[in-house]
Amino acid sequence: MTEYSRMAKGKFTSTGGAQIVNLPFQPDFVELINYTAAATPANHGIPYAYWDANMGQGFAIVDLFNATPVLITDSVDLNGISTFSAGQLLQYGARQQVVGITKADPAVVTVTAHGLTSGDVVIFTGLYQSATTGMPQIDGIPFTVTVLTADTFSIPWNTNQSEYTALSASPSGAYMKKVLYPYLYEPGVAYISAITLGTTTTIDTTDAHNFVVGQEVAFRIPSSWGTIQLNSLPNTLTPGSPVYGYVVAVTDYNTVVVNINSSAYTAFNSNQPFADVSGQSFAQIVAVGDVNTGGVEITSGSALYPPPYISPIGTTRVNSINGPAIKGAFFNNTSQGFIVGAGTAAGDTSSVLVGAVSDVIYWRAFLHDLSIP
């Protein structure tokens, strides 16, 4: 039967880490072709892989090359293929102990075997070195990470300031959690890490802002952070009417320029006092306008139903599960699909399901309208 079955296909270039594939459904069968591994047979290569929902989450059956190389079969029993569905609220991964954080710009975090990929988003809790020292000022802020090693990554924040104390020796209660689906509604609300004043105003954010040129934005900056003149209220010229700015340039995933002349404004201050952590609120930039990635134009040669997209880091572009959308300040990016993990075959721990860096992988995903046990 195929009346209600759903099918999708595509490809991706492996980064060596787990690959998330967004779809408008959760598949019950997935098959992979690693074109690179299939075209150049070599020991440990996995050219083909298959997953069925009846196997359970995180499994896969694979074909792989042995040393000859001859194609044999095996199974991936952990970190194989799994499906996911993001809810309406943020979901988090398991807690991981923070070993240390440096006083630096950007700060470097040590978490043993963190398992992150550049572009992942994390939050921290309990960043106390002692009862009166540490970095609890950044607890609860979402940070996009840049992976440095298997145990370290940097975050876009300057901790090399007087109110911060370096963390070391795995302080009790200091933890990190990965935000599993950080971009459910975009452009959303972005936390500000730095502001450069001038005839235009440059804003650095702690994770991807996902703004585009022409976007209308507003600011929420508590007085302790300094640059309160950017706040949308009060409007001294037109009381009751908020003050908005417009994005005139997007430098990168976490830097944006707005058209507000801030030359005479108070400098931004991220050196927040340790003593003020209780009740602390953060400086934010938010989307309020009606032009952004909430809809993509259909043009000659474009996809028939181009979905809204986000850009979580660098030049990466990730489509949402939506169809064509009316352009607006936010779009719903509640996501679902499947994940190809970096698990290894049970009989060959040197093999990697998701392939090596730069491997080209083709996939097909199915959701059948009839499943017979």
- What is the chain's pLDDT, residue by residue, as a tens digit (373 residues)? 456 799 999 999 998 988 989 888 899 999 999 999 999 999 999 999 999 999 999 999 999 999 999 999 999 999 999 998 887 678 899 999 999 999 999 999 999 999 998 889 999 999 999 999 999 999 999 999 999 999 999 999 999 999 999 999 999 999 999 998 888 877 778 999 999 999 999 999 999 998 888 888 999 999 999 999 999 987 777 777 888 999 999 999 999 999 999 999 999 999 999 998 988 999 999 988 765 655 666 677 766 666 777 888 877 777 776 666 666 777 777 778 999 999 999 999 999 999 999 999 999 999 998 877 6
Query: Same domain, yes or no, for 18 and 158?
Result: no
Q: Give the domain-ending residue among 182, 200, 224.
A: 182
Position 372 in a domain: no
CATH number at residue 133: 2.40.30.180
Q: What is the pLDDT of residue 310?
A: 80
Asked if residue 143 is part of any domain, the answer here is yes
- The reported pLDDT for the residue numbered 326 is 65
Q: Are residues 256 and 139 part of one domain?
A: no
Query: What is d(CA 241, CA 233) in angstroms, rounded to the nearest whole number?
Result: 8
Residues in contact with 314: Cβ distance below 8 Å, sequence separation at least 6, in sequence order: 118, 119, 252, 253
361: phi then psi, degrees, rounded to nearest 5:
-120, 125
Residue 190 host element (H or E)? strand 189-196
Cα torsion through 226, 231, 236, 237, rounded to 10: 130
* Structural domain total, the chain: 3
Query: Residues 245, 258: one domain?
Result: yes
In this prediction, residue 57 carries a pLDDT of: 95
212 found inside a domain: yes
Q: Which two tokens stand for residue 339?
A: 């994940």
Nearest to 270 by CA among 365, 156, 346: 156
Work out whether the CA dihedral 256, 328, 190, 231 comes out positive or negative: positive
With respect to residue 126, please indicate whether it lies within any of the assigned structural domains. Answer: yes
Cβ-count burial of 275 within 10 angstroms (0-12 exposed, 13-18 middle, 19+ buried)? exposed
Same domain for 45 and 71? yes
Question: Rounded CA gap, 73 and 65, in Å?
Answer: 9
Order of strands across the sheet that contains 143-144? 96-97, 175-179, 121-125, 143-144
In a domain, 258, yes or no: yes
Q: Is 176 exposed, middle or buried (0-12, 13-18, 19+ CB in 10 A)?
A: buried
Regarding whether 175 and 310 lie in a shared domain, the answer is no
Q: Which of 163, 182, 201 is the last residue of a domain?
A: 182
Tell me which residue range forms the domain holding 256. 183-333
Place of tokens 């474009």: 302
Residue 1 lies in a domain: no
For the record, the structure tokens of 201 come out as: 């105003």
Domain termination residue (choose one: 150, 182, 214) = 182
373 inside domain:
no
Tokens describing residue 270? 């991220």
| pLDDT value at residue 305 | 63
- State whether 174 and 315 are in the same domain: no
| Pairing, β 6-13 against β 360-367 | antiparallel
**Is residue 218 domain-resident?**
yes
Reading the block at residue 361, the tokens are: 């992988």
Report the C-alpha gap between 250 and 310 in whole angstroms.
13
Same domain, 221 and 171: no
Say if residue 121 is in the same domain as residue 19: no
Torsion of CA 126, 127, 130, 134, to 10 degrees: -150
Helix (H, G, I), strand (E, B) or coil at 369: coil
Co-location of 178 and 70 in the same domain = no
Instruction: State whether residue 25 is helix, strand or coil.
Output: coil
Global pTM value: 0.82
Same domain assignment for residues 358 and 269: no
Identify the bridge partners of residue 19 per DSSP, sorted by sequence position: 340
Count of C-beta atoms within a 10 Å radius of residue 182: 23
Which among 97, 122, 127, 123 is positioned nearest to 112, based on CA atoms? 97
State whether 159 and 200 are in the same domain.
no
Note the pLDDT of residue 297: 66
Secondary structure class of 3 (helix, strand, coil): coil
Please give the C-alpha separations between residue 37 and each of 47, 62, 349, in angstroms, as whole numbers. 5, 12, 16
Residue 348 and residue 325 in one domain: no
